Chain A
């Protein structure tokens, strides 16, 4: 039993590893479902670092998702830049934006911070639409080539699936490491009582901005992965609605837990694959399911699972 509780995480990894050949049935559609899940896990986890651990609410996360996607898309489709290089540039631009806006924006409180992040998201979107000659505008940007690892082109869906999930794994591991490190503990201190933390000499704006930069870099990676997978991107999917969806994944799964957003992202991306059968009623049913989960699982799905596991462990 002890081995199980220490190494439980090997089970999901094994599931992910063998999925394409088992439940996934070698089908591009089924791999695709989990590829999207993986991309949104990166988004949700990176947002959790910001909201859950640092207490900085953001409804503009999709802006960085867009920066990564469009940088990768434009550089590879229009200028033939190597995808790996383009992804790196996307991360740099995202991080730079986070650094530039971090200090003033993160100093705001709660709803005002939320509004500022919303405004930032909208600015990015309106610029993407406005600079149509460069970005394809509202019509979208197509012909994005598949990702390449040095010379090897990831055309096959199974190759891309593993590529995405390896990145997901590293980002999850990285996020857990950050959270458990002294940097992470400082952030939690800032979150629980910022004035006290500052009183003890912690330069909280600097920490918050650094975390914001890390979070935006991860979101940018997700954007690049998304662009190369879809082959086509449009501003529609990077707006405030998307940011809000990512936030919902967080709260559904359980904020401040890293594992929670993983569950939340999985749930939100798999749910439509089930409820699509209800056609006209799909929207209503999605809303109702969300409500049920929120009312009966206030600590998120992760909270419920933890409770269930504890109960089982106690009985054993």
Chain B
């Protein structure tokens, strides 16, 4: 029982953490695909999504409604930020835009501090239940929710970007803004939608991951960095790639901890990341 069970435990641990990284990576990629911008404030949408849902459920709202409400709130915040702060400086250099999103993330974090204070909050898992036991390794049920919702989100994204005219228009804008606008597609609307999507998915990630963690106003920083790493491994423009990379990152982490060293696992993971970047610069899963 021993050997198999803990090899599988490492697998489950990797899937658990990987699912978090994958969702954040997706939210980052969506914003990038549609507006060529990396949003450093995604971590704060994660926190807002989680904390909003916690507050709403504690006020008596049923979980599903609280979930959608939390996502909706972040979508509104994201859209507002895009219109008021990003649009005016849209022509600026990449660096300027990145720093603006950093400033936004600071402000949002400060806002979260004022609204929710310094304490950590817990959220009950969506469904009650003992963890699943497979060959002696256990997996929390909430992880099934996360994986399930991630798949659902991917399907919705795929459908939107491949099948709806708005989605196709947004992709056109990302690939060729000038050409797209010449064709009458509104680049402005596209950027707005990108942010709305990104904020929504970020918040969704927070809401569905919250039962695994203890959320406080600074909880967004780590997921953001890991999501960023996953996106880089998977290829900046590839949604499927970043999802796979997110899970891959989680698995590499947990197997390194399990089989090699828990003390130097971070060092090893980052060294591997550097190697991937140097030898497969466009990401492991992109086409070029």
Contact surface of A with B, Cβ cutoff 8 Å: 51, 57, 104-105, 107-112, 115-116, 118-120, 122-123, 126-127, 130, 240-241, 244, 247-248, 250-252, 255, 280-288, 290-291, 294-295, 298
**Quick check: A287 and B106 within 8 Å, CB to CB?**
yes
Instruction: State A295–B38 Cα separation when bound (angstroms).
Output: 17
Q: How many residues of B sit at the interface, in one of the four size bands?
A: 35 or more
For A290, the chain B residues whose CB sits under 8 A away are 99, 102-103, 106-107
Instruction: State A259–B27 Cα separation when bound (angstroms).
Output: 37
For B110, the chain A residues whose CB sits under 8 A away are 281-287
Distance between A56 CB and nearest chain B CB, rounded to angstroms: 11
For A122, the chain B residues whose CB sits under 8 A away are 266, 270
Supply 14 further A-B pairs (C-beta < 8 A) apart from A280-B114, A283-B109, A294-B96: A105-B274, A112-B232, A116-B274, A116-B277, A118-B229, A119-B270, A130-B264, A251-B95, A280-B113, A284-B110, A291-B107, A294-B89, A294-B99, A294-B100
Return the contact of A57 from the options B95, B103, B278 (Cβ within 8 A).
B95
* B108 close to A (CB within 8 Å): yes
* B122 close to A (CB within 8 Å): no
Return the contact of A291 from the options B98, B103, B270, B278 (Cβ within 8 A).
B103
**Quick check: B281 and A123 within 8 Å, CB to CB?**
no
**Quick check: A51 and B89 within 8 Å, CB to CB?**
no
Return the contact of A284 from the options B96, B111, B221 (Cβ within 8 A).
B111
* B30 close to A (CB within 8 Å): no
14 contacts between A and B (CB under 8 A): A107-B281, A108-B277, A109-B281, A115-B228, A118-B229, A119-B273, A122-B266, A126-B264, A126-B267, A251-B98, A284-B114, A290-B103, A290-B107, A294-B89
Q: Tell me whether A247 and B89 are in contact in the complex, defined as CB-CB below 8 angstroms, given that A281-B110, A284-B114, A291-B104 are known contacts.
A: no
**Quick check: B274 and A287 within 8 Å, CB to CB?**
no
* B213 close to A (CB within 8 Å): no
For B88, the chain A residues whose CB sits under 8 A away are 295
Task: Please name the residue on chain B nearest to A282 by beta carbon.
Answer: B110
Instruction: State A247–B94 Cα separation when bound (angstroms).
Output: 13
Give residues of chain B (255-288) contacting chain A, Cβ–Cβ below 8 Å: 263-264, 266-267, 270-271, 273-274, 277-278, 281-282
Task: Please name the residue on chain A nearest to B261 by beta carbon.
Answer: A130
Contact surface of B with A, Cβ cutoff 8 Å: 38, 85, 88-89, 92-96, 98-100, 102-111, 113-114, 221, 225, 228-229, 232, 236, 263-264, 266-267, 270-271, 273-274, 277-278, 281-282
Instruction: State A273–B99 Cα separation when bound (angstroms).
Output: 22
Q: Tell me whether A284 and B113 are in contact in the complex, defined as CB-CB below 8 angstroms, given that A111-B38, A111-B232 are known contacts.
A: yes
Distance between B62 CB and nearest chain A CB, rounded to angstroms: 32
**Quick check: B94 and A281 within 8 Å, CB to CB?**
no
Distance between A239 CB and nearest chain B CB, rounded to angstroms: 10
**Quick check: A281 and B278 within 8 Å, CB to CB?**
no
**Quick check: A104 and B267 within 8 Å, CB to CB?**
no
Instruction: State A112–B263 Cα separation when bound (angstroms).
Output: 26
For B113, the chain A residues whose CB sits under 8 A away are 280, 283-284
Most buried by A among B221, B264, B267: B267
For A247, the chain B residues whose CB sits under 8 A away are 95, 99
Q: Tell me whether A286 and B264 are in contact in the complex, defined as CB-CB below 8 angstroms, given that A115-B273, A240-B225, A295-B89 are known contacts.
A: no
For A244, the chain B residues whose CB sits under 8 A away are 102
